Amino acid sequence: MRPFTYSRASTVDEAIRMISQDQQAKFLGGGTNLIDLMKMGVEAPRHVG
């Protein structure tokens, strides 16, 4: 899996701010889809929150 940084937003506003600062940032949610795709190298976000 490609390296990425992780941060946890405590409000909706903060989450939107974080995701809009980086084109390669992704929302994790539960992660069951994104993590699987990241393991396969289909997704390689720079930042996950």
Residue burial 5-24, b: 16+ Cβ < 10 Å; e: rest: eeeeeeeeeeeeebeeeeee
- Asked if 41 touches another protein (CB under 8 A), the answer is no
Query: CB–CB of 47/24 below 8 Å?
Result: yes
| Minimum separation from the CB atom of position 5 to another protein (A) | 7
Residues 10-39 binding another protein (CB under 8 A) are 28, 31-32, 35-36, 39
Q: Which residues bind another protein (CB under 8 A)?
A: 1, 3-6, 8, 28, 31-32, 35-36, 39, 48
